[in-house]
Amino acid sequence: MTEEESRELDQAQEPEGQPAQEPEIGVTRMFGDRTGFIVWYSDWKAARGLDKYGTLHYLSRKMHYAVLYVNSDVAEETLKNLQRLPYVKRIEHSYRNEIKTEYERNVPDKTRFYGL
């Protein structure tokens, strides 16, 4: 298929008078809104099965906790299901989404003052 034929097909699929919208590239488009949970557990082998409830990001063998990310629209259902598991001690909500990650620089840069 030549380049011209592919353009004609793209134009035929687009509605008249509206430009084609480029899909957003990023984590939000791929995963949607995510909610993090810190799950404290008593059995490490059983806790490896938490991946069927969401994305299991980290499992700590020593401190007995797991970091689990789930879709926000099913977070409440998942929380109820996790609390029913016999090896789960407690579940905490992760505040990572609520932390400000864009910083302002209010302190002047003193590197020029102390430079050679």
Q: Which domains does the chain have, with CATH numbers?
A: 30-97 (3.30.70.260)
CA 91 to chain centre: 18
99 confidence band (pLDDT: 50, 70, 90):
confident
The pLDDT tens digits of the residues spanning 14-48 come to: 555 555 555 454 555 566 789 999 999 999 999 99
Mean pLDDT of the chain: 81
Position 101 scores a pLDDT of 81
Residue spans of beta strands (DSSP E) within the chain = 34-41, 55-60, 65-71, 88-93
CB 65 within 8 A of CB 50: no
Q: Rounded to whole angstroms, how far apart are CA atoms 82 and 78?
A: 6
